[in-house]
Amino acid sequence: MSDDEARSKRAFDLEERTARFGESVIAFVRAIDKNAVTRPVVGQLIRSATSVGANYCEADEAESKRDFRHKIALCRKESHEVLHWLRMMSAAEPSARHQARLLWQEAKELNLIFGAILQGKKKQ
């Protein structure tokens, strides 16, 4: 497999994508000035963003279809929560809006992917 093929495969690998998303959020909050307003938002944002990947890993190892659906639903819920916390971070730290918007877009895409997975499983 060439390097380009490997990169392309990783681009569609949800485990890798959700891990990279969590890493990106961690890098984002490292640059945020911590104060009484941003500190609690940072904590919530980190918990929800890293939880997306952790729950996806659990879904990938699900013990049943029901367990898989439950874990994917948690992924969708957490990715939706990230949207909220990124909005709050933008309000708390206006200078971070541009980067928050990029992360918001990825969280939205992940949320839509998990929603589509759940819809596909309902039809089966």
Q: What is the pLDDT of residues 65-75, one digit of tens each?
A: 999 999 999 99
Structure confidence at residue 2 as a pLDDT band (50, 70, 90): low
Q: Which amino acid is at 31?
A: A
Query: pLDDT for 12-40, tens place per residue?
Result: 699 999 999 999 999 999 999 999 999 99
The tens digit of pLDDT for each residue in 41-52 reads 999 999 999 999
| pTM (two decimals) | 0.86
Which residues lie below 8 Å from residue 85, measured CB to CB, with a gap of 6+? Answer: 41, 44, 45, 48, 49
Helical residues (DSSP H) of the chain, grouped into ranges: 3-11, 14-30, 38-60, 65-92, 97-123
User: Tell me, what amino acid is at 122?
Assistant: K
The pLDDT assigned to 28 comes to: 98
Q: Which domains are present in the chain?
A: 3-123 (1.20.1440.60)
**What are 60-116's pLDDT values in tens digits?**
999 999 999 999 999 999 999 999 999 999 999 999 999 999 999 999 999 999 999
Query: Which pLDDT belongs to residue 1?
Result: 60
